[in-house]
C-alpha cells in the first residue's frame, strides 16, 4: 500500500505540471490584464499603466511569465504575490481553505447520510410511491443548477421566513459560538449538498439493484437471515463500491459548485477568493487556487482507491 501511494503521488507531478501549463495559457488568452483595476479613463495615465505592467511583469512573453511563476513555486514553494494587495498568494489561500473545507465536508456528510438510505430503500421498494417520489426529486436536483437553488433558498428561508442568515460565516467574531457557526453553515451546505444527494441516491439505487440480484444475496436469504441483515450487512457493503468512485469524481464539481455558493452566501472561502480574483484579473491568485484545486482532485482519487481496499478486501490496491 505504501509503495502504491508513493507511486501515485509521483504520477501526479507531471499531471499537475500539465494542468499549470493549460491554466496559464487559458489565462493569457483572456481579454484585459490586471492593470484594468488601476485604470482611470479621465486621467489619461497610459504611461503610469505601462510602468505598472512592467512592474507586474504582465508585458513579458507568456513563457517568461510561466517560467518565473514555476521557478518561484518549485524552488521557494511560493505561488507569487497578489496583484491586488501584494500579499503572498499561498497565505491568502490558506486563510480561506478552512472555510471551504468546512463547507465541502459538511455538504458531503449530509449527502452521504441522506442519499444512501434513500437509494437503498428506493431499490428495496422498487416502483413504489416512495421510489417514484425520490426519482422525481433526484432528477429535479440533477437538472436544476446549484446557483438557482441557492437563490431560491435565500429568498424563502432567509428573506421570507428569516430562519437562516443571508450571508457570512458567523455573527460573533469575539468568541467561538458553535450554534452561531451551525446557523450560518446550514443553508449553504444544504444547498451545496442538494445536487450531491440527487446524484448519489440514483447511483446507490442502481448499484443496490445490481447487488441484490447476486447469488450470495439469495443464499443469505435461503439461510433464513432477516431481510435487514441481508440488505445492510451483505448487500450494502458491495453496493457502496461504485459510490466511492462517484464521490471522488464529484469533488471537482463540488469545488466548482462552491464557487457560486460561496459568492452568493458571501462565504469567506477559496471559491469566493477565486471569483473575486477573476473579476480583477489577479493572475497569481487564479493560478494558486487552480493548483490547489488540482491537488485536491488528485488526492481525492488516491483516497478513493485506498477506500476500495477497505470496503472490498478482494481488491489488492498495492498490486495495481
List, for residues 253-278, the tens digit of each pLDDT value. 677 777 888 888 888 888 888 888 88
Query: Is position 2 within any domain?
Result: no
- 63 occurs within a structural domain: no
- Enclosing domain of residue 183: 96-319
Note whether residue 163 is domain-resident: yes
Residue 148 counted as domain residue: yes
Q: What torsion do the CA atoms of 145, 151, 154, 160 make, to the nearest 10 degrees?
A: -120
Is the residue at 155 inside a domain? yes
Distance CA 163, CA 166 (A): 9
Calpha distance 219→129 (Å, rounded): 29
Q: At CA 102, angle to CA 7 and CA 259, rounded to 5? A: 85
Asked if 248 contacts 300 with a C-beta cutoff of 8 angstroms, the reply is yes
From residue 118, how far is each of 36, 121, 122, 221, 296 by CA, in Å?
50, 5, 6, 22, 28
Whether the pTM exceeds 0.85: the reply is no
Give the CATH number, domain containing residue 282.
Answer: 1.10.3720.10
Q: Tell me the C-alpha distance between 158 and 151, whole Å.
A: 10
The pLDDT of residue 33: 67
- pLDDT, residue 122, reads 87
Q: How many domains does the chain have?
A: 1
Spans of the chain below 50 pLDDT:
41-44, 318
**Structural domain contains residue 296:** yes
pLDDT of residue 101: 85
pLDDT at 159: 87
Q: Does residue 191 fall inside a structural domain? A: yes
Return all residues near 219 (Cβ < 8 A) that are at least 6 apart: none
271 inside domain: yes
Q: What is the pLDDT of residue 89?
A: 86
Amino acid at each position: 500500500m505504501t509503495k502504491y501511494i508513493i507511486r501515485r503521488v509521483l504520477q501526479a507531478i507531471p499531471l499537475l505540471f500539465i494542468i499549470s501549463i493549460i491554466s496559464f495559457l487559458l489565462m493569457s488568452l483572456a481579454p484585459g490584464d490586471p492593470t484594468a483595476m488601476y485604470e482611470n479613463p479621465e486621467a489619461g495615465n497610459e504611461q503610469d499603466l505601462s510602468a505598472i505592467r512592467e512592474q507586474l511583469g504582465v508585458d513579458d512573453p507568456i513563457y517568461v511569465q510561466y517560467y518565473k511563476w514555476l521557478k518561484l513555486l518549485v524552488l521557494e514553494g511560493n505561488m507569487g504575490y497578489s496583484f491586488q494587495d501584494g500579499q503572498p498568494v499561498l497565505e491568502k489561500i490558506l486563510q480561506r481553505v478552512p472555510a471551504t473545507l468546512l463547507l465541502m465536508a459538511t455538504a458531503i456528510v449530509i449527502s452521504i447520510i441522506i442519499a444512501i438510505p434513500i437509494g437503498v430503500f428506493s431499490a428495496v421498494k422498487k416502483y413504489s410511491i416512495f421510489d417514484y417520489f425520490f426519482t422525481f426529486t433526484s432528477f429535479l436536483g440533477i437538472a436544476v443548477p446549484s446557483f438557482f437553488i441557492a437563490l431560491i433558498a435565500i429568498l424563502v428561508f432567509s428573506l421570507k421566513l428569516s430562519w437562516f442568515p443571508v450571508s457570512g460565516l458567523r455573527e460573533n467574531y469575539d468568541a467561538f459560538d458553535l450554534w452561531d457557526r451551525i446557523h450560518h453553515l446550514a443553508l449553504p451546505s444544504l444547498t451545496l449538498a442538494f445536487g450531491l444527494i440527487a446524484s448519489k441516491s440514483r447511483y446507490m439505487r442502481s448499484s443496490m439493484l445490481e447487488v441484490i440480484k447476486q447469488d450470495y444475496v439469495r443464499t443469505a436469504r435461503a439461510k433464513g437471515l432477516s431481510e435487514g441483515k441481508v440488505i445492510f450487512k451483505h448487500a450494502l457493503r458491495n453496493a457502496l463500491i461504485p459510490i466511492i468512485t462517484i464521490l471522488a469524481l464529484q469533488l471537482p464539481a463540488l469545488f466548482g459548485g462552491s464557487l457560486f455558493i460561496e459568492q452568493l452566501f458571501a462565504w469567506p472561502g477559496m471559491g469566493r477568493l477565486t471569483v473575486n480574483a477573476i473579476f480583477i484579473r489577479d493572475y497569481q491568485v487564479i493560478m494558486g487556487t487552480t493548483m490547489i484545486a488540482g491537488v485536491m482532485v488528485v488526492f481525492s482519487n488516491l483516497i478513493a482507491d485506498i477506500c476500495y481496499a477497505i470496503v472490498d478486501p478482494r481488491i489488492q490496491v498495492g498490486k495495481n
